[in-house]
């Protein structure tokens, strides 16, 4: 048995494997599968198709694949994504594995698309790898972000996702290497935020500098100190400040009352509209909020550092991005892995046989999957 067949044997659902044995013993049939999802998605078939085509080569089989949409298309719930035809003995035990490579990225791409549309002037970085269950999932999610982002660029002129956090997935964004400058660990190692920035710039002088400023809880003080230290980068527009303040505290200089006051001054309609408790937390609560972003921007501009960009991270889900877009939060870059599907059951793709030897037949209730006669 080949390595491929060993892999299929260990990973395919047992009832598919047993069905294959029955079919091979009692007579093969040519079948057509319809694949669909139960929620709206952005179609991301490439990695699943790459695997299916590889399986065909391994089995010296011929599969006929009919895509019903182009990559990046918006597909409604229950619409057939694609049809796959071939001998039943070649296809029946592949379903488990190719569906794993299809459903989740279609949902993640939809999330990424919405985020980019809601914040079209923001550069997004895909920082999902640490949240993924292995590098296979990391590939699926980075690919999804690139597809959803591309649709937002075409439709809305959004900047979208410009890169990822590691080299292995950088190619999905037409990059040679991952983006990112410093984790909190480097600041602890250096002993100060300014010193960490100096160490990074000394080691990587040609990489635009993004400095993490929340380690010591002095987001404003340390931001201004970094800008003063790197005036040449400030003038060149090559310095960014990143806030990743966790949800356990306010950023320096803010509390609940002052957060409301900032939004009252900058965007009063933000707090005069009905908001859920979660939305209020994103506006005026702890962590990286709309008020926090306005507060940092105001302090930078007051000090003459209006060319310095603000990068933000920490829980930027599609819903949080939508709200930040609504209130015009001043942010230039968002690093996020929160486009990953939140409700995993929504990622389930399903495949049903809709024809045996050219004769249309499907289980009761799935007639909507039958191929339309041309």
Assign a CATH topology to domain 3-105+344-369: Aldehyde Oxidoreductase; domain 3 (3.90.1170)
Side by side, which strands form the sheet with 333-336?
Answer: 160-164, 123-126, 333-336, 309-312, 239-243, 209-212
Q: What is the pLDDT of residue 374?
A: 62
Q: Residue 99 and residue 77: Cα distance in Å, rounded?
A: 16
Phi then psi dihedrals of residue 239, to 5 deg: -120, 130
Can you name the CATH fold of 107-336?
A: TIM Barrel (3.20.20)
Model confidence band, residue 341 (pLDDT cutoffs 50, 70, 90): confident
Q: In the prediction, which pLDDT does 372 show?
A: 81
Instruction: Please check the confidence at residue 66 and state whether its pLDDT lies above 70.
Output: yes
List CB contacts of 367: < 8 A, sequence separation 6 or more: none
pLDDT, tens digit, for every residue of 75-120? 999 999 999 999 999 999 999 999 999 999 999 999 999 999 999 9
Where are the chain's structural domains?
A: 3-105+344-369, 107-336
Q: Could you tell me which residues are beta bridge partners of residue 189?
A: none
pLDDT(371) > 90: no
> How distant, in Å, are the alpha carbons of 54, 270, 291, 319 from that of 264?
58, 8, 10, 22
């Amino acid at each position: 048995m080949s390595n491929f067949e060993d892999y299929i044997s260990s990973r395919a659902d047992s009832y598919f494997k047993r069905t294959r044995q029955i079919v091979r013993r009692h007579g093969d049939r040519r079948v057509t599968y319809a694949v669909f999802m139960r929620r709206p998605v952005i179609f991301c078939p490439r990695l699943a198709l790459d695997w299916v085509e590889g399986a065909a080569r391994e089995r010296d089989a011929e599969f006929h694949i009919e895509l019903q949409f182009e990559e990046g298309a918006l597909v409604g719930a229950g619409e057939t994504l694609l049809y796959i035809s071939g001998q039943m003995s070649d296809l029946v035990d592949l379903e488990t594995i190719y569906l794993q490579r299809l459903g989740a990225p279609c949902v993640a791409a939809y999330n990424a698309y919405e985020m980019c549309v809601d914040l079209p002037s923001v550069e997004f970085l895909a920082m999902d790898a640490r949240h993924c269950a292995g590098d296979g999932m990391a590939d699926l999610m980075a690919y999804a972000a690139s597809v959803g982002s591309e649709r937002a660029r075409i439709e809305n002129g959004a900047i979208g996702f410009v890169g990822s956090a590691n080299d292995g997935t950088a190619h999905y964004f037409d990059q040679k290497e991952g983006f990112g400058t410093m984790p909190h660990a480097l600041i602890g190692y250096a002993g100060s935020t300014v010193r960490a920035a100096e160490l990074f710039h000394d080691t990587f002088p040609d990489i635009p500098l993004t400095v993490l400023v929340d380690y010591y809880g002095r987001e404003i003080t340390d931001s201004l100190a970094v800008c003063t230290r790197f005036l040449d980068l400030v003038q060149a527009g090559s310095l960014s400040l990143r806030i990743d303040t966790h949800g356990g505290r306010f950023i320096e200089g803010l509390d609940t009352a002052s957060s409301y006051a900032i939004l009252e001054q900058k965007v009063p309609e933000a707090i005069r509209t009905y908001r859920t408790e979660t939305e209020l937390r994103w506006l005026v609560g702890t962590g990286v909020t709309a008020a926090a972003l306005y507060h940092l921007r105001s302090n930078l501009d007051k000090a003459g550092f209006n060319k310095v960009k603000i990068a933000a991270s920490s829980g930027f889900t599609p819903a949080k991005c939508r709200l930040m877009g609504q209130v015009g939060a001043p942010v230039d870059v968002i690093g996020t892995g929160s486009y990953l599907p939140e409700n995993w059951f929504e990622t389930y793709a399903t495949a049903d046989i809709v024809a045996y030897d050219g004769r249309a037949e499907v289980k009761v209730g799935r007639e909507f999957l039958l191929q339309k006669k041309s």
